């Protein structure tokens, strides 16, 4: 019976003698070019400059290589940071000053629409705009919070937790009911604001805030939404005390209107015994929202 082609090649191979070597092996006394030098740790193989994770067709392999690539880049950044710190420590007082990072805030050109509280035009607008009844203490905030049709579990939890940080707010899950039918009912029942949480692919990604009955209405894109259980060093759940409200960097004409819209969601008289603060911070064209509870430390004499 005829043997396979591989069997013929094995029969034709000549055995190597004790003095013969592999043609690809280095000569005696010559070091392998890929081997590390004596006294050095073996160098890990880095990704080539032209490497692209998107070229990998296998999904699991692509995910694994993407995580590994992020780890490699994180190690490189950490090594550069340690090297710079070591150089600065060696120079001491002669070290050059740290460069100031460029941000949108420090590179921004002065906006001529910055609001001056003492301006007569601004004061007139505040006295006649849609939020004037609230700031004149003629109305009490009452908010209705709803969602898009058929919200998912994470959006439902976010809606419930949002209602705990806005006093006098009520959650209503609309089931295919159009907003055109909801708004007249809200006005008839004395609601001053309407909040609609939108979601996409089971993730809350948008918020519509409408001041009733005559507006205005604003749409905000939401990102980096975290639930209460996902926060580090989380405290207890919010109490029913009315929180303090902090508005930062709402200085332009548009920002001033948005700040008044956020302020109208909360009652006038905060209850300081609850030690709760709702913060709206405008920075880098983003509005960051935080809800904190601060601790009061008494000075001790030694």
Give pLDDT tens digits along the chain (302 positions). Answer: 455 555 555 555 555 555 555 544 445 555 444 445 555 554 455 566 777 888 888 999 999 999 999 999 999 999 999 999 999 899 888 888 888 888 777 787 777 778 888 888 888 989 999 999 999 999 999 999 999 988 988 999 999 999 999 999 999 988 888 888 999 999 999 999 999 999 998 899 999 999 999 989 999 999 999 998 888 877 788 899 999 999 999 988 899 999 999 999 999 999 999 999 999 999 888 999 999 988 876 655 44
CB 210 within 8 A of CB 193: yes
Domain boundaries along the sequence of the chain:
120-293
- The pLDDT value recorded for residue 281 is 96
Q: Count of CB atoms within 10 A of residue 131's CB?
A: 17
User: How far is Cα 217 from Cα 208, in angstroms, rounded to an integer?
Assistant: 7
| CA-wise closest residue to 173 among 202, 200, 144, 201 | 144
CATH number of the 120-293 domain: 3.40.50.10480
User: How far is Cα 242 from Cα 277, in angstroms, rounded to an integer?
Assistant: 9
Q: The tokens 């013969």 sit on which residue? A: 20
CB 206 within 8 A of CB 247: no
Q: Half-sphere exposure of residue 265, counting CA atoms within 13 Å on the CB side? A: 27
- The pLDDT value recorded for residue 142 is 96
Q: What share of residues in the chain are helix, strand, coil (percent, to 5)?
A: 35, 20, 50
The residues, ordered by sequence, that sit 6+ positions from 199 with a Cβ below 8 Å of its Cβ are 147, 148, 151, 152, 155, 205, 206
Residue 170 has which token pair? Answer: 């009520």
- The pLDDT value recorded for residue 33 is 46
The residues, ordered by sequence, that sit 6+ positions from 254 with a Cβ below 8 Å of its Cβ are 113
- The pLDDT value recorded for residue 34 is 45
Cis peptide before 213 (omega within 30 of 0): yes
The distance from CA 144 to its chain's CA centroid, rounded to whole angstroms, is 26
Between CA 293 and CA 127, with CA 210 as vertex, the angle to 5 degrees is 85
Q: Count of CB atoms within 10 A of residue 204's CB?
A: 23
């Amino acid at each position: 019976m005829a043997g396979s082609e591989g069997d013929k090649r094995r029969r034709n191979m000549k055995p190597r003698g004790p003095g013969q070597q592999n043609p690809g092996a280095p000569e005696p006394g010559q070091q392998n070019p890929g081997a590390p030098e004596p006294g050095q740790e073996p160098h890990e193989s880095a990704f080539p400059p032209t490497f692209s994770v998107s070229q990998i067709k296998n999904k699991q392999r692509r995910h694994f290589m993407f995580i590994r690539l992020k780890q490699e880049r994180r190690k490189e950044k950490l090594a550069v940071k340690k090297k710079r710190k070591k150089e600065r420590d060696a120079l001491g007082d002669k070290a050059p000053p740290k460069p100031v990072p460029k941000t949108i805030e420090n590179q921004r050109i002065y906006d001529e629409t910055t609001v001056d509280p003492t301006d007569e035009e601004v004061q007139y607008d505040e006295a006649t705009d849609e939020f004037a009844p609230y700031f004149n203490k003629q109305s009490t905030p009452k908010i209705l919070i709803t969602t898009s049709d058929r919200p998912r579990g994470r959006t439902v939890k976010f809606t419930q937790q949002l209602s705990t940080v806005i006093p006098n707010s009520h959650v209503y899950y609309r089931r295919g009911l159009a907003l055109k039918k909801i708004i007249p009912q809200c006005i008839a029942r004395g609601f001053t604001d309407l909040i609609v949480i939108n979601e996409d692919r089971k993730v809350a990604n948008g918020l519509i805030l409408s001041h009733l009955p005559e507006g205005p209405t604003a749409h905000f894109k939401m990102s980096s939404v975290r639930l209460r259980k996902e926060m580090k060093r989380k405290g207890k759940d919010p109490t029913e005390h009315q929180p303090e409200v902090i508005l930062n960097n709402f200085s332009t004409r548009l920002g001033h209107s948005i700040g008044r819209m956020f302020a109208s969601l909360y009652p006038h008289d905060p209850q300081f015994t609850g030690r709760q603060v709702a913060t709206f911070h405008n920075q880098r064209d983003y509005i960051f929202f935080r809800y904190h509870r601060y601790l009061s430390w008494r000075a001790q004499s030694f």
